[in-house]
Structure 1
Amino acid sequence: MLTRDTAAFIDFARRSAHDFGPATASAAFLVAPDGFGLATESATDNRYMAEAAAFDAARASAQHRELQRALSSELPVVCFAGDPSTPDAVFPNNVFATARGDAHSGAQGSARLIVGRMRHPVRQREAMRPDIRRFFHESLGYAEIDLSTQTHVCELTGALAIDRARGLGFCGLSERCDEAGARRMHDAFGLRATLMFDLAPGEYHTNVVLAVLAGRAALLCPDGFADAATVEAIATIYAPHAIRLSSAERSAFAGNAISLHPDTVWMSATADRALSEASRAALATAGFTVRSVELDAIEAAGGSLRCCIGEVF
């Protein structure tokens, strides 16, 4: 099911068991911020990006190394070299993603690498990297689904938040993903059902305003959605652990979070500091410990911790 019909999606989601696959990844991969700086093309539709003078490549590199060290305490983490010609490559989750299983075969289906279609040419270059493709295909034995050569924009887990436990997708439409791109991602990930909805004007990626945590909780930023009814509908799926974040929390990237273990949620230190007591208590009630890493230098590029992480399923 791929639909804009919220009621039909919610009815389907409520009947979907947590048996589609693991709720969290078995490993993660990063791309180092080599050549880190302002990507002017990306800045045209990413309101979170700072001015060029705010970029500090050395600080970004040090923070990225600390991110890898911190994440490695929970799961294996591979870091690929960056490329000065692709200053946005520090956010690989938009370009590369993995899936295992589909709506018919479940978690035992074949493992595959999915390569996305990026909107801007500066990011399209990232999809051409042979090393990441070869790592998954030759070293790990993953099949490849290459969406990068078709014409419809689909920026993978930037545009598509996924409940891996139930096989559900939440796809926010913007300049970074159209309906045809959503269809291609829905099929590539083999999801049971995907809800399409419009992001609020000025929002570029779903993963800035929505995070599904280990299949049992959600962080939602209501002002990032075009229609408040969409927020309330998604919240019904994850009640009582649907946590609505304020505009200040969204601006600090608290919605750009990820669970890499069933009991923890990772976000940047900026986001952690911005969490209200109510949001922190709600996460604790849902069974999550907040872990964070200082990433303010990387956040100048308009993304945060979740954007830095490619998941290996």
Structure 2
Amino acid sequence: MITRDRARFLLIAAACAPDFGPATARAAFLVTPEGFARAEQSAEDNRYMADATAYDVAAALAAHRRLHRALAASFPVVAFPGDPATPDATFPNNAFATARVDGRGRLVIGRMRHEVRQRETGREDIRRFFADVLGYETVDLSTQTSPCELTGALVIDRARGLGFAGLSERCDEDGARRMHEAFGLRATFVFDLAPGEYHTNVVLAVLGGRAMLYAPKGFCDAVDAEAIASLYAPHAFALDPDEAAAFAANSIALDSGCVWMSARADAALHPATRRGLAQAGFCVQSVDIDAIEAAGGSLRCCVAEIY
């Protein structure tokens, strides 16, 4: 079921047990920021991107190595090389995502809005890694016309099989439907992001299927945010504008007890938010990736989960 109807969605979602699948991934992959530079096409609808003078390739590569080392201490992490022709590829979760559908691994390839990012989805090394090495089937959405930037546009509660699809230039209603089907979800709620927001995962994080961080002003209608929050109460935490601007919602749980976010987000986190996460059973781990955040995304955007 995929719907814009809040009441209908909540009725279905509230009855979904956390038995859909593992709440967190078993591994992840990254793409290194080779040729790290401002992609002007992406800047058309990503207000978080810095101007070109803020991009530092050496600093971005160093930040990415810190991220890889930190995450690899928790679970397996594979890194693919970047390409100067795809300057946004360091955020691979928008282009590639995985799921387990009917017990089988599935690679989902997204349809990117901008041509500079469409180049990423044609990478044969990533496609072949999943098809030939892991034996995953491929669902390729990259050739259809509706934008659907995967787990940038669609936040997924993997434990209950629920999707939260925020519409923007990067995802339309048909794209949301295609993602709902590709991930094999039980129910997906479709809503509009606030003007100026480009991805849902900048304003919403569902953590391990049991907690939530969200920026109410990132939703066109705050009632939509509160409806989603009701599913995770009392562990749904509204972020203030400072926390949201620091990418606190662009965070991810990679196991049952830890939330990862950037050092910038960690520093902006209010004590009440931190206490709330602790009460939900999560500690906070962070990595300094300031150099990468110049490109308009943060830690969660760098992590493509492998389920």
For this structure pair, what is the TM-score category when the shorter chain's length is used for normalisation? over 0.9
Which residue of the partner structure matches residue 63 of structure 1? 63
Which residue of the partner structure matches residue 165 of structure 1? 159
Q: One-letter code of the match for 1:66?
A: R
Structure-to-structure mapping, 1:145-294, within 5 angstroms: 145-294=139-288
Instruction: State how far apart, in whole Å, the 1-side matches of 2:176 and 2:222 are.
Output: 21
For residue 133 of structure 2, the aligned residue among 115, 131, 139 is 139
Instruction: State how far apart, in whole Å, the 1-side matches of 2:44 and 2:242 are.
Output: 22
Q: One-letter code of the match for 1:247?
A: P
For the residue of structure 2 that corresponds to 1:195, the secondary structure is strand
Listed as ranges, the gaps of 5+ residues in structure 2 are none
Deviations 1:10-49 (A, max 9, x none): 1111100000000000000000000100000000000000
Which residue of the partner structure matches residue 25 of structure 1? 25
Deviation (angstroms), 1:162: 0.1
Instruction: State how far apart, in whole Å, the 1-side matches of 2:237 and 2:231 are.
Output: 12
Instruction: State how far apart, in whole Å, the 2-side matches of 1:220 and 1:297 are.
Output: 24
Which residue of the partner structure matches residue 53 of structure 2? 53
For the residue of structure 1 that corresponds to 2:275, the secondary structure is helix
Which residue of the partner structure matches residue 93 of structure 1? 93
For the residue of structure 2 that corresponds to 1:111, the secondary structure is strand
Deviations 1:101-126 (A, max 9, x none): 2xxx4xxx211100000000000000
Q: One-letter code of the match for 1:11?
A: L
For the residue of structure 1 that corresponds to 2:231, the secondary structure is helix
Verify: 1:303 aligned to 2:297, yes or no: yes
Instruction: State how far apart, in whole Å, the 1-side matches of 2:190 and 2:226 are.
Output: 15
Question: After the TM superposition, which parts of structure 1 deviate over 4 Å for at least 4 consecutive aligned residues?
Answer: none
Instruction: State how far apart, in whole Å, the 2-side matches of 1:269 and 1:163 are.
Output: 24
Instruction: State how far apart, in whole Å, the 1-side matches of 2:216 and 2:31 are.
Output: 30
Instruction: State how far apart, in whole Å, the 2-side matches of 1:82 and 1:138 are.
Output: 21
Verify: 1:13 aligned to 2:13, yes or no: yes
Q: One-letter code of the match for 1:64?
A: H
Q: One-letter code of the match for 2:299?
A: L
Q: One-letter code of the match for 2:37?
A: G
Count of matched residue positions in the alignment of Structure 1 and Structure 2: 307
Q: One-letter code of the match for 2:25?
A: A
For the residue of structure 2 that corresponds to 1:46, the secondary structure is coil
Deviation (angstroms), 1:100: 0.2
Deviation (angstroms), 1:231: 1.1
Which residue of the partner structure matches residue 111 of structure 1? 105
Deviation (angstroms), 1:156: 0.1
Q: One-letter code of the match for 1:202?
A: G
Verify: 1:121 aligned to 2:119, yes or no: no
Instruction: State how far apart, in whole Å, the 2-side matches of 1:78 and 1:16 are.
Output: 32
Instruction: State how far apart, in whole Å, the 2-side matches of 1:183 and 1:235 are.
Output: 22
TM-score, normalization by structure 2: 1.00
Q: One-letter code of the match for 2:281?
A: G
Q: One-letter code of the match for 2:202?
A: V
Instruction: State how far apart, in whole Å, the 1-side matches of 2:222 and 2:21 are.
Output: 30
Instruction: State how far apart, in whole Å, the 2-side matches of 1:125 and 1:187 are.
Output: 24
Listed as ranges, the gaps of 5+ residues in structure 1 are none
Instruction: State how far apart, in whole Å, the 2-side matches of 1:235 and 1:196 are.
Output: 15
For the residue of structure 2 that corresponds to 1:223, the secondary structure is helix
Deviations 1:126-157 (A, max 9, x none): 00100000000000000000000000000000
Instruction: State how far apart, in whole Å, the 1-side matches of 2:72 and 2:49 are.
Output: 28
Deviation (angstroms), 1:73: 1.0
TM-score, normalization by structure 1: 0.98
Q: Cα RMSD over matched residues?
A: 0.5
